[in-house]
Amino acid sequence: MAAPQHDPEIAARQRWMRLLAAADAAELAALAESVTDDLPQSVRLRGPEAGLVMLKGRAGGGGAAFNLGEMSVTRCTVRDAEGRIGHAYIAGRDTAKAELAARIDAAMQGPAALRIEAAVLTKLEAATTARHTQDAEQAAATRVSFFTLATMRTSS
């Protein structure tokens, strides 16, 4: 079976929605200040509202699904003055962040997308990459190398 073809527009939107959802709320608000003219006023269509989602897991990667636990999620949907619809789903209960992310999602579908990409999304991506790098370095610092007889053996 061939792998499905992905629409580049869908992939781009998934990327920016992932960045908005993972962003620190204060950092997102500060970066959005620089593009307030590009974020037109919007009407709330749904939310922002907080609720719970059930997280599912799989035993062994291919085993039966099981309920891992619940997680708080806030969602919001807005429509801007040009009729573009923006959505946001974020972890936690931060309604202001969810609404701002939805407004940015709507604006990213319009002519201001390049300015918002440069002023907000590339900076969020850089900050996310820096956090992941720092986490990886901290984890690597605690790595323990176990010395075993199997690694000492030489071929005779």
Regions of the chain with pLDDT less than 50: 1
In a domain, 140, yes or no: no
Which strand (E) or helix (H) includes residue 34? Answer: none
152 within a domain of the structure (yes/no): no
Is residue 38 situated within a structural domain? yes
Q: According to the model, what pLDDT value does residue 5 have?
A: 62
Q: Kindly state whether residue 127 falls inside one of the protein's structural domains.
A: no
Domain holding 50, by residue range, is 8-58+66-117
Q: Is residue 78 part of a domain?
A: yes
pLDDT of residue 4: 60
Q: Does residue 3 lie within any of the structural domains? A: no
End-to-end Cα spacing for the chain: 47
81-108 pLDDT, tens digit each: 999 999 999 999 999 999 999 999 999 9
Domain count, the chain: 1
**100 contacts 32 by C-beta, under 8 angstroms:** yes
Q: Looking at this protein, which amino acid is placed at residue 75?
A: R
Closest CA to 123 of 27, 37, 11: 27
| Residue 48 in domain | yes
